Amino acid sequence: MDSLWTGFNPAEVEVLAVLAAEKLFFLAVIAVSACLIIRVIDYLLGRFFDYTKLDNTLERFIHKTTVMLLWLLTLGMVLVYLGVDVNAVVASFGVGSFIIGFALKDTLSNFASGIMILMNHPFRLGDEVSVSGNRGIVKAINMSNTLLKDEKGNRITLPNSIVWGNAITNYKKQ
């Protein structure tokens, strides 16, 4: 009478419960394993950067990007395990990335220029430089802009695409 009233067969419910428990167990195994692996890689990257001479801003960017990509890879594995069509998700991200990239092309240009500045070191903090008609002491180098302070104490914020795309005169570089 109960199976007619609820519409479920108790044996089928038991099989579904076992399958759900199996899925949850393996999802937990994937999540815990991924968490441990990502923590180890995070630690090893930190140790690796202790011995490199990269700029701190660039090190943080590489470190955070690597960890984020590992978490995205883990999310992808979980979605595949759950039976989600990942191809559609990846295609959606591709189209979305194109649209966002086109809308943020100047910002992305500043970002890429910032990486080039941090990798090539045409100047460092404290150097006196002249870029695109602006002369001052370098106070900060970020991923998107460079901050100078001129002789009058004015703050000059230059987008990195302008800094990297123009001649740089460094008066303190030896």
pLDDT digit string, tens, across residues 55-88: 777 788 888 889 999 998 898 888 888 888 888 7
6 shares its domain with 69: yes
- In a domain, residue 120? The reply is yes
- In a domain, residue 137? The reply is yes
Q: Which pLDDT band, with edges at 50, 70 and 90, does 2 fall under?
A: low
- In a domain, residue 48? The reply is yes
Query: Is the separation of the CB atoms in 148 and 136 below 8 Å?
Result: yes
- In a domain, residue 96? The reply is no
Kindly tell me if the per-residue pLDDT of 50 is higher than 60.
yes
Strands 128-131 vs 155-159: parallel, antiparallel or unpaired = unpaired
Q: Which pLDDT band, with edges at 50, 70 and 90, does 9 fall under?
A: confident
- In a domain, residue 104? The reply is no
- In a domain, residue 39? The reply is yes
71 shares its domain with 117: no
66 shares its domain with 13: yes
**Could you give phi then psi for residue 53, rounded to 5 degrees?**
-110, 25
75 shares its domain with 119: no
Which tokens hold the place of 59? 């090190």
Q: What's the number of domains the chain is made of?
A: 2
- In a domain, residue 100? The reply is no
Query: Is the separation of the CB atoms in 108 and 158 below 8 Å?
Result: no
| CATH number, residue 136 | 2.30.30.60
Q: Which helix (H) or strand (E) holds 134?
A: strand 134-141
Domain extent at residue 158? 111-170
66 shares its domain with 128: no
Res 1: pLDDT = 47
117 shares its domain with 153: yes
136 shares its domain with 64: no
- In a domain, residue 99? The reply is no
**End-to-end Cα distance, the chain:** 91
Average pLDDT over residues 128-154: 91
Cα–Cα distances in angstroms (integers) from residue 49 to residues 46, 82, 123, in the given order? 5, 36, 21
123 shares its domain with 62: no
